[in-house]
Amino acid sequence: MTPGLIECFRQLIALPSISSTRPDLDQGNRAVIDTLAEWFSALGFACDIQPLPGQPGKANLIATLGSGPGGLVLAGHTDTVPCDESLWRSNPFTLTEADNRLYGLGVCDMKGFFPLILEAIQDLKASQLQQPLIILATADEESSMNGARALAAEGKPKARYAVIGEPTGLQPLHMHKGIMMERLTIIGQSGHSSDPSLGRNAMEAMNDVINRILVLRSELEQRYNNPAFTIPRPTMNLGCIHGGDNPNRICGHCELEFDVRMLPGMNPEDVRREILTYASPVAKERGVTVTLEPIADSIDAFMTPVTSDLVKTCEQLTGYSATTAAFATEAPFLSGLGMETVVLGPGDIAQAHQPDEYLALDRITPTIDLLKQLIARYCL
Ligand SMILES: [Zn+2]
């Protein structure tokens, strides 16, 4: 037996599972994983809890019912973003029902997906399954995506199809851009400003490098275009720059931080190689060193073709055409494991990462029906 639908929501929301790149805010997700494992075990699932290497208190859960080479993964992350409690009208960790909505941190993005799955499978029996149904619950999606990275490294789980219940307002999403955040560092030679020949100015070299990478940016915009996206080209934003320390000192060190939002078809290694190809002549001309390093691990762009069975099925079941998103998800990791992947869930992205995060009650029944139909099509 599992608790009822609202009780499942209540218990998951009451277990804080904030993930953050700030160590003082970062929490584990293990309590959520253990609770989910208990519930899915009670329904006959084989539960495999995978602690994240070197990250105590953090784990993924792979819960499997049935067996076979195909099947369906229903996936979600168990962590939430941090919240500013003072801006909430209710306690973010106490499920609050009001105005035909459920309020709480993670109801929409996206611990709330799991109670809906549990409700959809209450009457499901392992003996009915021709192909496995796999529930995947991950850690750290909101910060490092280390949960999904660990799964990718392990090559798990394996299935034919995957649906990630991130907030998409029940519209199937089949593409999003990838993200890379990089730091370009130039080391020159400091010296007294009265004689430029005493040093090699890293800031002036950076000026040259910026001019060249803006040329590369224009070329990337020419080369890649996908009209399905609101911003149909890749973007590159120069976000911050730090260099030098005094007006009368030749600048010996300069750093530039920027991001690149990649369209499907681009990959971070190629972009990195091209940036260095464009920047490295400056190193030679000015006698400085130019290095490039990621500030955070990149996230690949994601695309499942609109012709795929899963995309067509999700379009048919929801009545919406598949669309694109401006945010990144764990989809490229599941897609990289060979699964046709769609992002499709009950919440709205407008309510995610906000005070008073909520899920409208009228999303609950359509989501449960949708999940039942997906399971029927891909597992029964
Ligand atoms: Zn999310």
Residue with tokens 């009368």: 248
Distance between CA 234 and CA 173 in Å, rounded?
A: 19
Q: How far is CA 247 from each of CA 174, 175, 195, 209, 251, rounded to the nearest angstrom?
A: 51, 48, 13, 21, 9
Residue 69 sits at the vertex; the CA angle it makes with 63 and 72, to the nearest 5 degrees, is 50
- Distance, CA 350 to ligand 1 centroid (Å)? 12
- 307 CB-near residues (< 8 Å, 6+ apart): none
- Distance, CA 36 to ligand 1 centroid (Å)? 17
Which token pair is 187? 């080391």
Distance between CA 72 and CA 61 in Å, rounded?
A: 15
Residues 91/12, Cβ–Cβ less than 8 Å: no
- Distance, CA 165 to ligand 1 centroid (Å)? 8
Distance between CA 20 and CA 199 in Å, rounded?
A: 41
- Distance, CA 141 to ligand 1 centroid (Å)? 7
Q: Exactly one of 26, 79, 119, 340 is catalytic; which is it?
A: 79
Does the annotation mark 208 as catalytic?
Answer: no
- Distance, CA 219 to ligand 1 centroid (Å)? 33
Does the annotation mark 141 as catalytic?
Answer: yes
Which token pair is 50? 């995978």
Residue 1 pLDDT: 74
Residue 132 pLDDT: 98
Q: Exactly one of 140, 141, 166, 330 is catalytic; which is it?
A: 141
Residue 326 pLDDT: 83
Give φ, ψ of 34 to 5 degrees.
Answer: -65, -40
Residues 117/371, Cβ–Cβ less than 8 Å: yes
In angstroms, how far is CA 191 from the centroid of its own chain?
A: 45
- Distance, CA 109 to ligand 1 centroid (Å)? 5
| Other C-beta atoms lying within 10 Å of the C-beta of residue 78 | 31
Which token pair is 269? 């290694």
- Distance, CA 65 to ligand 1 centroid (Å)? 25
Q: How far is CA 175 from each of CA 162, 292, 317, rounded to the nearest angstrom?
A: 14, 28, 19
Instruction: Please choose, from the candidates 213, 198, 185, 208, the residue with its C-alpha nearest in 3D space to the C-alpha of residue 286.
Output: 208
- Distance, CA 329 to ligand 1 centroid (Å)? 7
- Distance, CA 196 to ligand 1 centroid (Å)? 52
Rg (CA), the chain: 24
Q: Is 115 left (phi over 0), alpha (psi -120 to 50) or beta?
A: alpha
- Distance, CA 145 to ligand 1 centroid (Å)? 11
User: What is the DSSP secondary-structure string of 252-300?
Assistant: -EEEEEEEEEEPTT--HHHHHHHHHHHHHHHHHHHT-EEEEEEEEEEE-
Burial of 56 (0-12, 13-18, 19+ CB in 10 A): exposed
Distance between CA 35 and CA 48 in Å, rounded?
A: 13
Residue with tokens 């084989």: 46
Bridge partners for 134 per DSSP: 64, 73
Question: Furthest-apart CA pair in the chain: how many Å?
Answer: 84
Residues 310/342, Cβ–Cβ less than 8 Å: yes
- Distance, CA 117 to ligand 1 centroid (Å)? 16
**Omega cis (within 30) before 110:** yes
Element (H, E) at 35: helix 30-42
Could you tell me the mean pLDDT of each successive run of 10 residues in the chain, 380 residues long? 93 97 95 98 97 96 95 98 96 98 98 98 94 98 96 96 98 97 98 95 98 98 96 96 96 97 96 97 97 96 97 98 94 97 96 96 98 97
Instruction: Please choose, from the candidates 80, 148, 159, the residue with its C-alpha nearest in 3D space to the C-alpha of residue 329.
Output: 148
Residues around ion ligand 1, judged by CB within 5 A, are 109-110, 166
Q: Are strands 323-325 and 173-176 parallel, antiparallel or unpaired?
A: parallel
Q: How far is CA 97 from each of CA 10, 18, 102, 338, 367, rounded to the nearest angstrom?
A: 10, 22, 5, 40, 18
